Structure 1
Amino acid sequence: MAIRLPYPATNRERIAERRGEAQPAAGRAPGSAPCAQGPPARSSPPPPPPLSPPPPPSSPAERRGSRPAVPLPWAGGIPRRAGCAGQSAAEEEEEEEEEEMALLPRRFLCFLLAHHFIAATACQEADYGWMIRHYCLKQFQLSMEGIGQRLWCDWDETVGTYGELTNCTALIAERLDCYWPNRLVDEFFVAVHRQYFKNCSPSGRALHDPPNGVLCPFILLPVLVTLLMTALVVWRSKRSEGIV
């Protein structure tokens, strides 16, 4: 009687046996009883790889690794410190007040710049120029005519009128939200000086001839001396001729 040897188990069957799944062998007739097989051969586990030191970091980012990023003081303004569990409300309020005080100079500078920008954009230059010519200049002209042209260069007489003209231009600029002094004010006062004070000296006194009581002696005295010397020369010449 021939002895039937068991069919060698394939790798797939070995894997199925390990998972607990029964799979029919390839080439076996359907309905036939499974062949008795011995216990599956266990393969020896692979040896563990040798331990080697980790490679050195090649970039600064790898060197930093998992270190927490430290916020820079100039990035994002003033960083807010996270409140601790035991921190009281009074300490948090003090920290907020310190931060507000640190931001005050910057806010004040922004306020000044915004004020000048709004004043420059809100001013109506055409209306301002018309008003200083028709209100301030008219009153100044009447006052200067009352003083008289001979006293225009007398600063003691014109300082009050000139101050009223300056105050008038400043008040109108304040009413119209204009910055003072500005370009129109400079041009306005240059025109006033050309019309009323162009012949005045820096000391505030007009350049004119001295009075007659001082001027006549300086003119008549040299003329009389010249005539007297001429008459004396003629008389001496005639006398010398008579003696000869």
Structure 2
Amino acid sequence: MKRAFSSLPFLLRILTFEFWVLNAVLVSGEDTHVPTTASSNETMKDPICPSCNHESCDFGECYKDFVVMKCLPSFVSILTHYNNIERCTWDTIKRSYTEFTMCTELYADSLRVPWPNQLVEDIFVEIHATFFQDCLVTELYDPPPSIIFVLVMTPICLIPIMVTLVVLKTKNGDSTS
């Protein structure tokens, strides 16, 4: 019998290992810079983060690179496989949406970048504008006045009745329930 693996736990194990390695290198301060074969005037790139050079590293830019190169492509490719009706059904896209969210959050945690952040918000707004603009949003309306009247008047009428019952019960000296 074959054992079925869910993609989410597998993805989490891979990402957790990748973040563990990334954290170990960034926190330990090891020299991970590899000289390039380019001229000596060009800066050396960090193999872990393409935005980093040997002089400084902007973790915000590094985070942007990771999200754009590692998280976004798989999510976009999954969304493009669905038609507009399937994309608008939460049960269809829930897993992919959650995996993308977790991917952005794990990279942010790994690089010690706050999450949520403006980059993530902008990416999600762009995703919604691109893939979910045709989804119908059911608007909520107030119930008719007769329903509101019943819902408001029921507790108002029950309170005096309950108070009267409590007073009568204690006035008669009946201490049993």
For the superposition of Structure 1 and Structure 2, which TM-score range results when normalised by the shorter chain? 0.3 to 0.5
* Structure with greater helix percent: 2
Largest Rg, 1 or 2: 1
Instruction: Using CA pairs under 8 Å that are at least 6 residues apart, name the structure with larger relative contact order, 1 or 2.
Output: 2
